[in-house]
Structure 1
Amino acid sequence: MTNHQSQRAIKAFEDFVSTPLETRLQRHLDTSSQSAVLTLFEDVAANVPAYKAFLAEQEIDPRAIQTFEDFQKLPAIAKENYILRYPLPDLCRYGQLQTCDIIAASSGSTGKPTFWPRFFTDELQIATRFEQIFHDSFFADTRSTLAVICFTLGTWVGGMFTTNCCRYLASKGYPITVITPGNNKEEILRVVRELGSNFEQVVLLGYPPFLKDVIDTGIARGVDWQQYQIKLVMAGEVFSEEWRSLVGERIGAKNPCYDFASLYGTADAGVLGNETPLSICIRRFLAEHPDAAKALFGESRLPTLIQYDPINRFFEVQDGTLLFSGDNGIPLVRYNILDTGGIVSYDAMLQFLAEWGFDPREKLVQTRLMSQRVAGVPPVVATGVASLQTQDSLRGIHSLPFVYVFGRSNFTVSYFGANIYPENVTVGLEQPIIQEWVTGKFVLQVKEDTDKNRFLSVIVELAPGVEESEDKQQAIAASIFSQLLRLNSEFANYVPPEYQTPQVTLAATGDPEYFPVGVKHRYTRR
């Protein structure tokens, strides 16, 4: 037994339980995030054998890294040049794997698992991201809450990590009770039906397509989701605001900015950031204004937009790719997770939106006031951001920076020089009527006909019990075409009109060639 480990755990847990959320989220205002990341580098360079060896191979003297400008010249690390090249213990502090108490596994494109050890204190860091969501979005400090873990359990990171973080919130005093059916749909439905009415709200935590499947199956079986005041926490996939609205309608959600939250999570380092009511409000505005989104993000697709704590996870952008640094069981310095995206400061975001005539803070306040009136809460005399400084209406508004994430760049197809994104097609399948026919899964490809003319092919999975018809096929093609024109300016301008209408093929649920059951779905094929 090591006294150091127990003292480390006790100190971190006391700090987590006793420190208010607001205090944690304001640290970046009083502490330089650049100084914090330099301190992390010095610690890792001195105490992690693998990083010592990495720097030596690059002929870098860590004592020469004195400024943030020096730090930015350090070579980025990634799985290939760092994680997979050194023994697992050497990636941990002091070369001791036993300083960690749990190991998760992730599988990359090769299918070979990568192991990610962590300690209790690493999870406490991430628990603050969950506290942001449960406190700011779901008001779970005042509402009894059943948290239903719908992520896969086992060695995969999502289920166990999420379970632990929710339990830490309960230890802090939140009236949260956790249950872990995992991705067992039948068990999830049983849990909600038999336990849900004992709580003021039920939170489902899982992957977006799976949660939608659970909800749709529940509706088909007569589950009245609205009575349970359902909230959703998601991770793992980019989804559209049309998807959020559709699912919100099916669960009876009244305020999408406060009833949903998505995590930017990874097995490599836990949760890097999370959606907030403010980021969701902004993203919904940008979804309705594609020109503004293109001006802000530089692409004709809508990324995941989150806020992050730069003291906890420090982001940089290098050649359009996100790098992050953060402490964990395997500390990471300038780590390239291969996600494309960018960073926008809090002030820069509000300034940009102001130029488009939009103030998301005012929008959130109006939304909260409206929901309070619906709930019968007495209205305040004045309105606006300034008048609500002491009220719950300002929950979810923090001056944290934003990071936007497109995901892996190789998930696009090129058609007449235009980059076609799965996200563009998704919106076409989420339009009224169409959404009732399909599961939301599809395969996007560029093919050639017998004359070697290229065409855009979309294989679409029909919902269970829905039969194929030419009318459905034409309606789906028209819907996808309409949204491609609206959302993707490259498509509208690069692709000749006679080649713009996609050729849609309808496939049955679980089609073994395109939609095999139990296999992670890929939305594009080369």
Structure 2
Amino acid sequence: MKHLIITIYARIVEAYRKLTMISNKSIKLIYIPGVNKLRDFNSKARAYLEFVKAKNNVPAYRDFLESMNFVKPTFSGLTPNIHEIPVIDKENYIKMNSLDSMCSGGMIPEKNIIIDESSGSTGKATSWVRGKVERKRNAKMIEFGLKNLVGNEPLFIINAFALGPWATGVNVTMSCVSFSKLKSLGPDKDKIVNTLMDFGSGQKYVIMGYPPFLKYLVDNGEINWEDYDITFIFGGESMTEGLREYLLNKGIKKVFSSLGASDLELNMSAENDFTISLRKLLNSNEKLREKMLQHTGALPMIFQYNPADFLFESSAEGELLVTICRPGYVTPKVRYNLHDRGHTLDLKEVYKLLDECGIDRSEIVKPQTDLPLLLHYGRADMTVSFFGSNISPTDIQEVIYKQEALKEEVNSYFLEVDEDAEGNKKLIVSLEIQENKSKDHIAIKKIKETFFNTLGKINQDFREALKMIPSKEQMVIHLESFGEGVFSQNDIRIKAKYID
């Protein structure tokens, strides 16, 4: 009986959602404040319905559940216990099954289908299937989100993500063309600069791309950025507040980040003025960091998301599990482990922590909605271990932008731990100098001590490790000219490689 009630209820919720998708004004009804308990219940109800449909209609998922001897979750009252459903990920599900078997109905539909690829930053490139229904809804939500961030004026969007089969570039093009002028140029500095000069400073530009390329664009584009109204939208990896401030100081008007995953959806959550102000507050307030954050190291990205669309959970290891609660996806995903570290936080809990720390709420921007927060720390497997500390690429990026001698000079970086024949470990940070600049004028010995001391301030585990390292010679900074050494194989079209 509970099964029947919840599945019917979830279908009613979806019918209401379809009505709200008529226009940007009606979409605002989704974000009515004061109903987060209902949103949470709707999230679990919709997730349960997607589980039932996937079990009945997706051969690979049905086989997976059978292999796990799992039939269905229990209920607590009328709430389905989604946490009981077995977790899937790329290893135990995606790589073990054919694309056809992971589709509803057991085969890829013959039309209205886009097949794209992830960049393969964690290994071999993977193909993903996206249908018309999911693409249409996602495009509408991207339009609403962008207008909310940058205003209702006509937009000129420049897609600087990799083109061809790559997932993000393909989907940005499809999602944004219906509500903007769009030019998909890929990560091509000269073409982007020429476009800005051709169309002039009277446009409201939004340039979307990966952080390393957009920084490279600003550093090397021969144009006065302050003359243009340009917003950057980052995706694909984390960005430090140091990098954001650096770009704003160069003349970029606004800088926002969005969380998406090729495995799941292009845009699951996003930054806004409120989340950025909270992140900056965390950056300056150690007491608040200790109370709010669950992992050490660089600050997490902070997003707001709608739980009725995406159910985020955290595993026992602190990794994000995601269920797409929206219906109509060709390849449904229920409790999919991205192997990204993160957790959620209710807005009421944020205010409670502010009060406990004696922080006036006026120190952060007032949020437009009371949607919950998603704190995203990056990939769980993107760290190196050194004397018991786990160091991430974002830690290194944050150090760079705290060093006046480096932030104007460095294009990229690489992190590795080497071990000699006697078992002595060495932490090696390689820094790639910007194109057309020389590394010779950088006093590497002078910056080395402040570099690793700053890393200790950012990463408390490394701060403890510093007390145990026998020799400072076991911490090394290498300077490389642009495109040389470990950076010789970098491909600007896809996500940068930061660790070995």
Q: TM-score interval w.r.t. the shorter chain? A: 0.7 to 0.9
Measure the CA separation in 1 of the matches of 2:55 and 2:311: 17
Query: Is the Cα–Cα contact under 8 Å of residues 151 and 182 in structure 1 kept in the other structure?
Result: yes
1:89 aligns to 2:121 (yes or no)? no
Query: Aligned AA for 1:21?
Result: I
**Cα 1:478/1:194, change in 2 over 3 Å:** farther
Question: In structure 2, the residue corresponding to 1:302 is in which secondary structure?
Answer: coil
Give the superposition deviation at 1:68.
4.4
Partner of 1:339: 340
- Unpaired stretches in structure 2, ≥5 consecutive residues: 1-13
Q: Deviations over 1:145-204 (max 9, x none)?
A: 211111111211111211222234x1xxxxx322111222211111111114242x2111
Query: Aligned AA for 2:482?
Result: T
Query: Aligned AA for 2:499?
Result: T
Query: Is the Cα–Cα contact under 8 Å of residues 196 and 202 in structure 1 kept in the other structure?
Result: no
Query: Is the Cα–Cα contact under 8 Å of residues 481 and 500 in structure 1 kept in the other structure?
Result: no
Normalising by structure 1, report the TM-score. Answer: 0.81
Measure the CA separation in 2 of the matches of 1:290 and 1:424: 16
Q: Deviations over 1:414-469 (max 9, x none)?
A: 22212222222222222323212221x22223335687544432121112233334
**Cα 1:524/1:114, change in 2 over 3 Å:** closer
Measure the CA separation in 2 of the matches of 1:155 and 1:180: 13
Partner of 1:374: none
1:310 aligns to 2:311 (yes or no)? no
Partner of 2:319: 321
Give the alignment of 1:28-67 within 5 angstroms: 29=36, 30-31=38-39, 32=41, 33-62=43-72
1:524 aligns to 2:495 (yes or no)? no
Give the superposition deviation at 1:515.
4.1
Aligned pair partner of 1:71 in 82, 92, 117 = 82
Partner of 2:405: 433
Query: Aligned AA for 1:325?
Result: T
Normalising by structure 2, report the TM-score. Answer: 0.85
Query: Is the Cα–Cα contact under 8 Å of residues 463 and 508 in structure 1 kept in the other structure?
Result: yes
Aligned pair partner of 2:32 in 26, 29, 51 = 26
1:186 aligns to 2:186 (yes or no)? no
Identity of aligned residues (%): 26
**Cα 1:48/1:507, change in 2 over 3 Å:** same
Query: Aligned AA for 1:214?
Result: L
1:157 aligns to 2:167 (yes or no)? yes
Q: RCO greater where, 1 or 2, for CA within 8 Å and sep 6 or more?
A: 2
- Unpaired stretches in structure 1, ≥5 consecutive residues: 1-7, 171-175, 254-258, 366-395
Give the superposition deviation at 1:79.
1.7
Give the superposition deviation at 1:500.
5.7
Partner of 2:249: 249
Partner of 1:444: 415
**Cα 1:450/1:92, change in 2 over 3 Å:** closer
Query: Is the Cα–Cα contact under 8 Å of residues 272 and 313 in structure 1 kept in the other structure?
Result: yes
Partner of 1:494: 465
**Cα 1:305/1:234, change in 2 over 3 Å:** same
Matched pairs, number: 468
Q: Deviations over 1:94-148 (max 9, x none)?
A: 2241175211112546743322111222123323542354222211x1x232111
Measure the CA separation in 1 of the matches of 2:487 and 2:66: 47
Task: Write 1 or 2 for the structure with the bigger share of helix.
Answer: 1
Q: What root-mean-square deviation, in Å, do the aligned CA atoms of Structure 1 and Structure 2 show? A: 2.8
Question: Which deviates more from structure 2 when the two are superposed, residues 21-30 or residues 261-270?
Answer: 21-30
Give the superposition deviation at 1:16.
4.0
**Cα 1:466/1:339, change in 2 over 3 Å:** same
Partner of 1:273: 269
Query: Aligned AA for 2:193?
Result: L
Measure the CA separation in 1 of the matches of 2:302 and 2:214: 20
1:261 aligns to 2:256 (yes or no)? yes
Query: Is the Cα–Cα contact under 8 Å of residues 490 and 497 in structure 2 kept in the other structure?
Result: no
Partner of 2:7: none
Measure the CA separation in 2 of the matches of 1:470 and 1:452: 34
**Cα 1:252/1:154, change in 2 over 3 Å:** closer
Aligned pair partner of 2:216 in 197, 213, 217 = 213
Query: Is the Cα–Cα contact under 8 Å of residues 73 and 85 in structure 2 kept in the other structure?
Result: no
Query: Is the Cα–Cα contact under 8 Å of residues 321 and 338 in structure 1 kept in the other structure?
Result: yes
Question: In structure 1, the residue corresponding to 2:486 is in which secondary structure?
Answer: coil
Partner of 1:136: 148
